[in-house]
């Protein structure tokens, strides 16, 4: 067969639509605000060789790391018809423990050899551990929650009730967890049906021919993009504020070697794994590299495994970008992934100065807390990320109050937040002037003030509280963020990563960083109006 450009585009969109429909089903049927409101989930389609074939327009930090989960599940369990594997172990293909991944094979009639796999990943707002919402300060992974190696959650179409019971017995909110997990199961089964229908409609020969053609096409487009970058070695360094246990900065270093139509990305010289939970497993580092290089492509390319074919990644084992057991990793998925993106873009700005934006806020501003809801006398656990400012671009201002880079979630709407939890939102606004000055300004961060209507235990995992988001081409850095706990009669500034106990009536105030500016401030031009904080973006 010969590749027809029109049919190639049709199949690209067919596979993508399966992942998107899986996500829509998961969102509509989930129980928790974190999934149905913030959309903290991702879905993808894989071929029979476990290569990613299509991704939904979901969360980059999930999607780029999901192939590791699929590989781990298949190698450990060899799932058959009707089976659904479950895992969250960061050292067996996962990211951090709240992200639970389900993997399901799609079989051809009369065969035990899968022709596709479907997978989804969702952040559960509690998976046990020492702190409510399972995102606390920790020194080893055992403190962070229930660690699930690849196991079968469903066998031959039936849920394994003993596995489900074991999981639900170890979390603070079992009803919500069961609801979210069954929503994930439903999304997998929908993906299985849609891929079966696709194969039956177009036939095996054409379906699998274009599945392979999409992989070759995406690899070709990435090679072409790399070939347009000047050959050379581009180095950069950035750092995390700290790990929550000491005030020592944690450096990340990268050297990107471009040679012809290939790239080598080497993180040698990055800090060793540290005491606190900012350690990232290799899957996270690969995910950040995938995201950054995909952003270099000007066309709407297939988001499949072929994109990484011309790119080699080296990350020293035992470092903060390739942590080994039993290092704590809760914040590696959310904070270190953002800093990896920052250091990669900083290096690429040397090669492509007219294309790379200044640093965005560089943190997901993770807030988690829990307690006993006085309205129901039942435990509750809540988790959210809070947006910041986007870095200015070479041709336009950065957007304000928006989730950037490795997160692609929404905020939790005030109405849903106050309805589901014993809180009152006192303020939710843009943080005017927090974006860096420049020919094009960085986007502004946000201010979020939450009053607790009952006593809670909580954690803030954030960054860019000491080292601001950098500007480029003479642009100024964005303002650093700030965390403040306001108690009756007093208030205190919280460090970037901190646990806290807040009595009823106390207020948590989080001010998120602005993005860096681009270009020297003199000769500033007007650019499109900034976006409001309730929108979604990458």
Nearest to residue 315, comparing CAs of 346, 293, 348, 337?
337
* Residue 301's pLDDT band (cuts 50, 70, 90): confident
Give the per-residue pLDDT at 531: 52
Q: Going by C-beta distance under 8 Å and a sequence separation of 6 or more, which residues neighbour residue 298?
A: 225
Give the per-residue pLDDT at 60: 82
Average pLDDT over residues 423-428: 98
Strand pairing of 311-314 and 262-266? parallel
pLDDT at 524 over 80: no
pLDDT at 298 over 80: no
Question: Which pLDDT tens digit goes with each residue over 162-181?
Answer: 999 999 999 999 999 999 99
Mean pLDDT score of the chain: 94
Strand pairing of 52-55 and 41-47? antiparallel
pLDDT at 536 over 60: no
Nearest to residue 313, comparing CAs of 278, 361, 360, 280?
280
Share of the chain above pLDDT 90, in %: 90
Give the per-residue pLDDT at 110: 77
Length of the chain: 538
Q: Going by C-beta distance under 8 Å and a sequence separation of 6 or more, which residues neighbour residue 35?
A: 26, 27, 41, 122, 123, 180, 183
Q: Going by C-beta distance under 8 Å and a sequence separation of 6 or more, which residues neighbour residue 38?
A: 384, 385, 409, 410, 411, 412
- What whole-number distance in Å separates Cα of residue 148 and Cα of residue 133? 16
pLDDT at 521 over 80: yes
Question: Which pLDDT tens digit goes with each residue over 103-147?
Answer: 999 998 877 889 999 999 999 999 999 999 999 999 999 999 999
Give the per-residue pLDDT at 56: 87
Give the per-residue pLDDT at 535: 40
Question: Which pLDDT tens digit goes with each residue over 74-107?
Answer: 999 999 999 999 999 999 888 999 999 999 999 9
pLDDT at 538 over 50: no
Distance set, CA 259 to CA 147, 291, 292, 353 (Å): 41, 20, 18, 18
Give the per-residue pLDDT at 529: 52
CB atoms within 10 A of CB 263: 24
Question: Which pLDDT tens digit goes with each residue over 426-464?
Answer: 999 999 999 999 999 999 999 999 999 999 999 999 999
Full-prediction pTM beyond 0.85? Answer: yes
pLDDT at 343 over 90: yes
Nearest to residue 464, comparing CAs of 409, 521, 533, 388?
388
pLDDT at 351 over 90: yes
- What whole-number distance in Å separates Cα of residue 517 and Cα of residue 525? 12
Strand ranges, E, within 31-74: 41-47, 52-55
Average pLDDT over residues 256-263: 98
Q: Between the CA atoms of 520, 525, 529 and 533, what dihedral angle is there, to the nearest 10 degrees?
A: 10
């Amino acid at each position: 067969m010969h590749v027809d450009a029109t049919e190639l585009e049709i199949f690209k969109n067919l596979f993508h639509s399966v992942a998107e429909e899986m996500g829509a089903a998961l969102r509509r049927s989930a129980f928790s605000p974190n999934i149905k409101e913030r959309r903290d989930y991702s879905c993808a389609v894989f071929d029979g060789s476990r290569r990613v074939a299509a991704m939904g327009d979901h969360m980059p930090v999930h999607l780029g790391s999901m192939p590791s989960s699929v590989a781990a599940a298949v190698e450990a369990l060899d799932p058959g018809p009707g089976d659904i594997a479950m895992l969250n172990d960061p050292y067996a293909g996962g990211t951090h423990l709240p992200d639970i991944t389900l993997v399901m094979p799609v079989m051809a009639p009369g065969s035990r050899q899968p022709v596709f796999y479907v997978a989804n990943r969702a952040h559960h707002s509690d998976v046990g551990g020492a702190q409510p919402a399972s995102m606390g300060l920790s020194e080893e992974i055992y403190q962070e929650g229930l660690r699930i190696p690849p196991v079968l959650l469903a066998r031959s179409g039936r849920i394994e009730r003993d596995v489900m019971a074991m999981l639900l017995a170890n979390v603070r909110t079992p009803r919500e967890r069961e609801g979210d997990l069954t929503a994930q199961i439903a999304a997998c089964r929908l993906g299985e049906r849609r891929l079966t229908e696709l194969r039956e409609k177009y036939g095996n020969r054409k379906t699998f021919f274009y599945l392979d053609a999409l992989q070759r096409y995406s690899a070709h487009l990435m090679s072409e993009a790399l070939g347009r970058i000047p050959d050379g070695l581009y180095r950069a360094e950035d750092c995390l504020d700290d790990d929550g246990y000491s005030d020592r900065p944690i450096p990340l270093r990268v050297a990107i070697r471009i040679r012809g139509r290939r790239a080598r990305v080497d993180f040698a010289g990055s800090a060793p794994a540290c005491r606190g939970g900012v350690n990232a497993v290799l899957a996270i580092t690969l995910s950040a590299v995938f995201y950054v290089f995909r952003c270099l492509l000007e066309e709407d390319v297939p988001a499949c495994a072929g994109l990484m074919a011309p790119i080699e990644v080296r990350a020293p084992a035992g470092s903060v970008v390739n942590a080994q057991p039993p290092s704590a990793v809760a914040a590696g998925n959310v904070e270190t992934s953002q800093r990896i993106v920052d250091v990669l873009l900083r290096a690429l700005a040397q090669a492509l100065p007219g294309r790379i934006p200044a640093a965005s806020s560089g943190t997901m501003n993770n807030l988690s807390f829990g307690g006993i809801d006085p309205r129901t006398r039942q435990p509750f656990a809540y988790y959210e990320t809070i947006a910041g400012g986007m870095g200015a671009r070479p041709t336009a201002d950065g957007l304000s109050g928006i989730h950037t880079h490795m997160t692609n979630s929404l905020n939790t709407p005030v109405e849903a937040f106050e309805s589901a939890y014993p809180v009152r939102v006192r303020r939710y606004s843009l943080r005017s002037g927090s974006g860096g000055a420049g020919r094009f300004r960085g986007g502004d961060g946000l201010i979020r003030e939450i009053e607790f209507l009952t006593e809670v235990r909580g954690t803030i995992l954030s960054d860019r509280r000491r080292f601001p988001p950098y500007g480029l081409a003479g642009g100024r850095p964005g303002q650093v963020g700030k965390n403040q706990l306001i108690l009756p009669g007093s208030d205190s500034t919280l460090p970037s990563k901190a646990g806290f106990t807040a009595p009823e009536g106390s207020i948590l105030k989080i001010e998120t960083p602005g993005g860096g500016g681009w270009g020297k401030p003199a000769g500033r031009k007007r650019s499109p109006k900034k976006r409001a904080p309730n929108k979604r973006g990458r």
